[in-house]
Structure 1
Amino acid sequence: MLRGYLRLLLFAFGLLVGVQVPGFVDDYAKRVAAHRAESEASLLGFRETAARFFDGDLNALVAHYRASSDAVMQSDAESVGHLVARAELLEDEWLAMQGAWYAQVWHLASAADRALLAETFEAYSYQVLLAPQAIAWGLGSGLLLAWLVELLGLAVGWLLGSGRRREQRLNARRWS
């Protein structure tokens, strides 16, 4: 009986963890979009200058600033270069978060920007979404966790010999 309750408890824990996945993915995507919009706003004036003098190429603008003999222009080159690099990173992250749900989850697990991921973790508030994908993630996680712990318990029991003793008892009953 206790074993059944432990299974239910594991399933419920897995369910609650699983329903967090879509909410976290959504929060990360919103954070990326907000940072991207902020980045684009900060580059607006530089984009206009690049469009006027360098056919819209921000990297050419940065190179021009770096090549200048003016120390102020060279200093601005570093600032603008940082803004351009940040905008490119945010654009790549935004594009990655426009894909299918499984591609988004894979991106977060394997290639997401660590600073944005940490920022999202810090600001994330646990939530229980009743969206279909959250329910699917919850049920899948609950079943997977319960199944894995059950297999682990059976494997440990088998390694410790309880499976063989039970088999011996069953064989003894058959022969008696």
Structure 2
Amino acid sequence: MSLINTEIKPFKATAYKDGKFIDVTDATLKGKWSVVVFYPADFTFVCPTELEDLADHYAEFQKLGVEIYGVSTDTHFAHKAWHDTSDAIGKVKYPLVGDPTGTITRNFDVMIEEEGLALRGTFVINPEGQIKLCEIHDNGIGRDASELLRKVKAAQYVAAHPGEVCPAKWKEGAATLKPSLDLVGKI
């Protein structure tokens, strides 16, 4: 069963953000757009490149009213240690959520049970707490924050303009489509 348009399941966790430990729950994600990015583990190889790429684009996401949450099955203590020792992770200003029990990782169906690690899962959640985008990658394939930013803009546009859809490669300001009988066979 697809997670698209389902509501996020309840959870409570501790995250590392701005030199502090903070509580993060399913309620924290509601009321604004959120991006939840699962990654396998701290102190690895592809993960810091992705989290740094998101950090480099974080201000753009915030301008759109979007909060980013990085999640792994590590603890919030490991996240702090990684933040303090890695130049790439030192750039991260968004919450790094610890999920040592795997509750959140299982809620989003990205747990690799035999390893206790997450797949590279990306989820865009609307202010109502519904999942609007779900992408799951093999752990050897890194993600691109610019492409995620484009998809968040498309999701926000579609939410704000009922009856319109964004075609392939849509960019902010480009033409959209209004599905109707008149369009059938004309694209």
TM-score, reference length from structure 2: 0.21
Larger radius of gyration: 1
The structure that is strand-richer by fraction is 2
Higher normalized contact order (CA 8 Å, seq sep 6+, divided by chain length): 1
